[in-house]
Amino acid sequence: MNILIACEDFRVGGAQIFCLNLGQALEHNHNVYMYSQYRDYVDSELVKQHYPKARILVPRVPIDRAVRKLDRLFYKLGIDWSLREHFVIRHIRATIKHFNIQLVHSNMFKSDYLFGRAIKDYPVPLIITMHGNYETFLENIRKAKGERILNYMQKVSYVISRIDALVYLTEKNLRVLDELDSNSISVINNLVKKKIYNGFLLKTVTSAFDGRQMLNIPDEHTVFGLVARGISEKGWEATIRAMLAMKDSKKVSLILVGDSSYLDNLKLEYSEHKNIYFVGYSSNPIKWINCFDVGLLPTVYGESLPTSIIEYLSCGKPVISTSIGEIKKMLSVNGRLAGCIIEIRDGKADHRELVESMTYLHNNSAKR
């Protein structure tokens, strides 16, 4: 079968990693093509790590930068029309025909919407996986913050009218569907819907990488670590502040794996603390996670099934995190937790609980 796996882009993110891993797995029995809406939003190192043979197709948009600026102007004026989308949709249709695509699997709302429009009248099955950004966009509209999509619910309704099956990671992914009109809800009731957790094939780190030695971390230190996208909602500063508040803060180290201007600013702000290590982006974070004693993700983001927690657990590391999406279920086995769950209060991970959880796992190696 000729399968096209689509995502808005292939930069660092759980949905993107999932797509690459899925493509790698399906390639054994099918002809697989990957689709990104942006040529310049493809992280070659990420692709090389997860699906080195990936055939990534991208649209050819003439004078792309100028087109994007024009679209931003339309958006600011409240005009719900995009010149770039016109070119992307045309390219999608040409791609479907040229490669005789027999099934499309789309990921993330913007990709779902464009593919729904592009193949509206094509007899090609369209499956989507919801990764959490549907409810994030709805929350942005309600709270008047972040990126807000014009006529969002109408577009969600359009996606639902075209898809043949819907995969979700956690029940909260489906909440946005409760906001649809009765006609759309009737369509939803007749859809194939299935909850499927993400998984990945654990890659053994064959090189003799010793992050602790490289960073000169004392052997007696407990090493906490955080791997995530470089946005504030993932809990970077909450983690730093909690570590510094520990009574034994001089006997622990913190490794932060990620890259962004936000993290650059944090690095400058906390540069005096020599036991906090900003190691930057890694296409293979497993090598760093193996150096941790405890994995952290005190997130307040709209998580579904965080890839970093899958990676922490696959390396046998206990986890301290908030209970968003499936996180608590991910850590639960027979009524016990593989780590600690902390509450969110006033939109932030509870500082006291985070300090206490880190202190407890620092002092209790048997629990770890």
CA–CA distances in Å: residue 191 to residues 128, 194, 257: 11, 10, 39
Report the pLDDT value the prediction gives residue 368, as an integer from 0 to 100: 93
The whole-angstrom separation of Cα 236 and Cα 119 is: 41
Closest CA to 109 of 149, 55, 139, 142: 149
The whole-angstrom separation of Cα 360 and Cα 128 is: 41
pLDDT (mean) for 323-337: 95
Closest CA to 298 of 319, 276, 269: 319
Flag whether pLDDT at 201 surpasses 80: no
Flag whether pLDDT at 205 surpasses 70: no
Phi, psi (5° rounding) for residue 93?
A: -60, -45
Report the pLDDT value the prediction gives residue 204, as an integer from 0 to 100: 65
In sequence order, what E strands does 71-199 have? 103-107, 126-130, 165-168, 192-195
pLDDT (mean) for 228-256: 97
Encoded tokens for 86:
């016109």
Flag whether pLDDT at 234 surpasses 70: yes
pLDDT (mean) for 339-368: 96
Encoded tokens for 58:
């991208």
The whole-angstrom separation of Cα 130 and Cα 94 is: 26
Report the pLDDT value the prediction gives residue 189, as an integer from 0 to 100: 83
Give me the amino acid identity at 144.
A
CB atoms within 10 A of CB 53: 10
pLDDT (mean) for 227-232: 96
Q: How many CA atoms lie within 13 A of 174 on its CB side?
A: 13
- How would residue 181 be classed by pLDDT, with cut points 50, 70 and 90? confident
Give CA angle at 354 (17, 145), nearest 5°: 60
Phi, psi (5° rounding) for residue 75?
A: -60, -45
Encoded tokens for 345:
């209060």
- For 74-117, the pLDDT digits (tens) are 999 999 999 999 999 999 999 999 999 999 999 999 999 999 99
pLDDT (mean) for 41-48: 94
Chain-centroid distance of CA 313 in Å reads: 17
Encoded tokens for 237:
């500063």
